[in-house]
Structure 1
Amino acid sequence: MKVLGIILAGGRGEYLTPLTQVRASAALPVYGKYRSIDFTLSNMVNAGISKVGIITQYSPRSLMDHIGSGKEWDLDRKQGGLFILQPYYSPDNPSMGYKGTADALFQNINILRRGNEDSVLIGSGDHIFKTDLAKIFRYHLDTAADITVLTGNKEGECGMEGMDRVVCRNGRVVKWIEKEKIAENPQEGDCVALDIYFINKFLLRELLYSAVPNGENELVKGIISPNLSSLNVREYRYNGYWRDIKLSKKCYFRTNLDILNPEIRRELFYENGRVFTKLKDLPPPKITGTAYMNNSVIADGCVIGGRIEDSVLFRDTRVMAGATVKNSVLLEGCLVEEGAYIENVIMDKYCTVRLGRSFVGEAEDPTVIEKHGVI
């Protein structure tokens, strides 16, 4: 596809503190060995997009360490490849930061000027989903759309309650309802906008030049929504698994545990191509004779001697004999010592639960242990 991929990965994810205290929400670990940005990036690569720009801002070190040169996604190439688009100081931008999504694109307008791509795909780095973007692009071309937005059903999905809604007529978006205004009329809107857009590159440049210098810094509020009557903005309804993990700690927790569902696991990892991620040279997990495991994901490098139930354990985590981990998410390098008991807990990297200690959170409000924390 002659498409330029742009991933918005500069969000702080303030509702996920302390998990996002030292990392952007796009760099949050998920499913044992992945990061949230892996899914949007892999969707683009699987669709044949070979030039991707990642717009970063907040605390990008962890994200950049994970992405590296892009070789795991076959983006370390001479033509096209991976571009990290960070804010920079200039006479026109003394604050050294992006004021919004449209401003972020405008400050990196050079990537829209270069190359032979005709269209741009804009996505978010903190959304978990798997789909065939090439099929959506064909729909975008067949309908002669100026902009195509991915939409989803508005009921019941974790993360969708925090998204904008749209009103559609015969596949065309005729009204955009910002999430801040949904409370005024909760029933309004046919579906939610999932922040995935196909748009003509030259049209996008014109819209940015007409809006951003006049103080309109948001892509939706300042560019798409005001032009619904003059542009052919189409919806593409998506009915698969989709999560916005930055909405809350509960949503991040439930998203990780969703991988224990075989149907969701099949959709995310066995359909529409692979999910690529940064590889680490770790041995397979070691399961001792004292271990018991039920309905759990155990990543490489783990050593398990205790009881694991309905949990996700990331790389290089150790659960000693006599310890119990139940309905919890343990990130990389955690240690649960002998006789300890944890339930409904998110443990950030390199946390330790000492000998015989007990730590229990609420199923609807999981407790988070900060990075390097000791209980």
Structure 2
Amino acid sequence: MKLDKYTAILGNTIGYPDMEGLTDRRPLASLPFDAKYRLIDFQLSSLANAGIHSIYGLFQRDNTSSIFDHVRSGREWGLDSLLSHWYLGFYNTKYNDHTTDRAYYEQLLTFLKRSGSDRTVYMGCDMLCNIDIRQVIRLAERAHSPMTVVYKRVPASMVTPANEVLEVSADDEVIGKGTLPEYRAGLAGVDISPDTSTGLAHEFADPDELISMSADIYVLETNWLIAQMEEEVKNEHPRKLRFLLRSLLEEHRALAFGYTGYLANITSVKSYFDANMDMLEPEHFYSLLYSNQKVYTKVKNEESTYFSPECEIEDSQFASGSIIKGRVKKSIISRSCHVDEDSFVCHSIAFSKVHVGSGARVEYAVLDKNVVIQPGVTVKGTPEKPLVITKGSIVEEDIIR
């Protein structure tokens, strides 16, 4: 393997039960976003823009065909050259477990040792952002920091018990870790485990209070990381890399990098739905997709979407290859969809190859791939609880939440 200055690890072995059926047949990383992207596009693009072409992806063994189909050779992200290395590691560990098996670390250690890299970037696929990794690397190198973590100041209402809350000093060092109060964890239906609740207690009575949430993006000295992983693998049940890194933040007074761009925390159907709806707001749309960094995705050469004379469109986005004859308002429609005459799609997301029949009504819903809404049927969720229609479903009767 050719020696590279930087390597990267993409972590995607953490799952969220509140995603309902959206991640039953695919990892979170391959969820569609804003009609033509996938969530993994943003991590791969950030790495490509930073000139990092040696990447190891961590995935569950089941339901990974969508990753292979989307990434393929990795050409769009510069991963198909002789100087690039793109690996996928598959594991049988459960999404909701914090621990894994030793094979998980053995493969990672082999990758890192052979890479000969100076620093390694770790990113998860549940934080949606378009970050300039080069800035984080430069800061880490100037400070000679073995561990640098990215965080963002966000409203307390955006943070879940699955996230890490940081105490950051005036010198930009992590000096403690906070927790969400028990009442918020109870509302989320999540037990606070020791792995996520150690540290300083915070009382976020105000949901708009700004707090420092870790983005679970790290820049690490590779040799230092190897040493930490070799120590962890000695345990009978080693922790997954994300939880190992979290445990080291305070002990090693990690350098903290404050990110100020758009960021969405994808842990539930509602957070995923809201992030997509954010793209209908110009401020968020341009911040994420039209900053000084390009976002790359799988290229598909298709005909443009056809809008019939009788259709009505209001504040919506469309990918290519669709036929729109009905009314679409504040919605995101992916590739090769059909919205028939006299139908109404409002505040909804349609994945590819969705068919909404004549006279049907869809509101506050996420329609997975190949869903068919029969003529005259109503599918209606709420802003707080969008309705998910799972992949390949044929809806013949009204579903109203």
TM-score of the two chains, using structure 1 as the length reference: 0.90
| Residue 141 of structure 1 pairs with residue 141 of structure 2 | yes
Partner of 1:26: 29
Counterpart CA distance in 1 for 2:297 and 2:211 is 35
Secondary structure of the 1:121 match is strand
Task: Evaluate the alpha carbon distance shift between residue 175 and residue 308 of structure 1 in structure 2; reply closer, same or farther with a 3 A threshold.
Answer: same
Counterpart of 2:65 in structure 1 is 61
* Cα deviation, residue 37, structure 1: 0.6
Cα distance between partner residues in 1 of 2:12 and 2:114: 21
More divergent stretch after superposition (206-215 vs 102-111): 102-111
Identity of aligned residues (%): 25
Distance 1:160 1:28 in 2: 20
Counterpart contact for 1:306–1:319, Cα < 8 Å: yes
Cα distance per residue 1:33-68 (max 9 Å; x no partner): 111010011001011111111111142121221111
Q: Does 1:210 align with 2:231?
A: yes
Q: Name the SS of the counterpart of 2:91 in structure 1.
A: coil
| Deviations, residues 293-322 of structure 1 (Å, cap 9, x unaligned) | 010001101110110000000110110111
> Quick one: structure 1 residues 66 and 223, their matched pair in 2 at CA, closer, same or farther if it must change by over 3 Å?
closer
1:187 and 2:200 correspond: no
Residue of 46, 50, 65 corresponding to 1:47: 50
Question: Residues of 2 paired with 1:227 and 1:308: CA distance?
Answer: 47
Structure 1 moving runs of 4+ over 6 Å: none
Match of 2:88 in 1: 84
- State yes or no: 1:14 paired with 2:30: no
Name the CA shift for 1:105/1:278 in 2 (closer, same or farther; >3 Å).
Answer: farther
TM-score (structure 2 length as normaliser): 0.85
Q: Which structure 1 residue ranges, 5 or more long, are not aligned?
A: none
2: distance between equivalents of 1:270 and 1:36? Answer: 16
Structural mapping, 1:229-268, within 5 Å? 229=251, 231-245=252-266, 247-268=267-288
Letter in 2 for 1:21: D
**What aligned pairs does 1:52-131 form with structure 2 within 5 A after superposition?**
52-57=55-60, 58-87=62-91, 99-100=99-100, 104-131=104-131
Count of residues in correspondence between the two structures: 366
Out of 196, 204, 217, the position equivalent to 2:217 is: 196
Q: CA deviation digits over 1:125-174, x for unaligned, max 9?
A: 23210121101111111112110000111415645664111112221112
Task: For residues 4-33 of structure 1, give each alpha carbon's deviation from its aligned partner in whole angstroms, at most 9, with x where no partner exists.
Answer: 011012333322121111111111111101
Which of 4, 7, 15 does residue 7 from structure 2 map onto? Answer: 4
Query: Could you report, residue by residue, the CA deviation over 1:353-375 in whole angstroms, capped at 9, with x for unpaired residues?
Result: 11111221111101111111112
| Structure 2: 5+ residue stretches without partners | 181-191, 205-209, 396-401
Whole-Å separation in 2 of the counterparts to 1:160 and 1:21: 21
Q: Which residue of 2 aligns with 1:174?
A: 175
**Counterpart for residue 219 of structure 1:** 241
1:163 aligned partner = 163
Q: What is the distance in 2 between the residues matched to 1:308 and 1:190?
A: 37
For 1:226 and 1:183, the matched residues in 2 are separated by: 12
Query: For 1:318-363, what per-residue CA distance to the aligned partner results, in whole angstroms no more than 9, with x for missing partners?
Result: 1011111011111110001111111111101111111111221111
CA pair 4-100 structure 1, distance change in 2 beyond 3 A: same
Aligned-pair CA distance for 1:83: 1.3
Distance 1:159 1:65 in 2: 32
**Partner Cα separation in structure 2 for residue 303 and residue 369 of structure 1:** 21
RMSD (Å), alpha carbons: 2.5
The amino acid across from 2:177 in the alignment is W
SS at match of 2:144: coil
Aligned amino acid, residue 353 of structure 1? I
Q: Is the Cα contact below 8 Å between 1:324 and 1:340 reproduced in 2?
A: yes
Structure 1 contact 344–360 (Cα < 8 Å) conserved: yes
Matches within 5 A, 1:306-321: 306-321=326-341
| Contact kept in structure 1, 2:79 and 2:86, CA below 8 Å | yes
Contact 2:29 2:125 survives alignment (8 Å): yes
Q: CA deviation at 1:108?
A: 2.0
SS of equivalent to 1:15: helix
Counterpart of 2:328 in 1: which secondary structure? Answer: strand
